Amino acid sequence: MSSELAKKIREIREVETSGRGEFSQLIGIAKKTLEGIEQTGRVPKGDLLESICKQWPKYTLWLMTGMTDETCGQISPEIERARSTLKKTGTDTD
């Protein structure tokens, strides 16, 4: 499970920020702590998960369960990436 959480945290970081430094600053942890989680699969502490969920609440359900519910605004980084790609190509109708 820990390596799965580390993978999910990395996916959120990659879609939402420019890198580990920015992500770490936004959630209030040391960059080295984030590197340790991502590179070794170390289990993140609850307060770190809480910080991620507060910063990006749209990923809470996916981060904790692997599920999404777009009707409730709960998405995955994959969905966000697809939405961003659609907006760039001008196919978004909003």
Task: Say if residue 1's pLDDT is above 50.
Answer: no
pTM of the complete model: 0.88
Radius of gyration of the chain (CA): 14
Q: What is the pLDDT of residues 11-64, one digit of tens each?
A: 999 999 999 999 999 999 999 999 999 999 888 999 999 999 999 999 999 999
User: How far apart are the C-alpha atoms of 20 and 34, rounded to whole Å?
Assistant: 7
Domains within the chain, CATH numbers bracketed? 2-89 (1.10.260.40)
* Side chain identity at residue 81, one-letter code: R
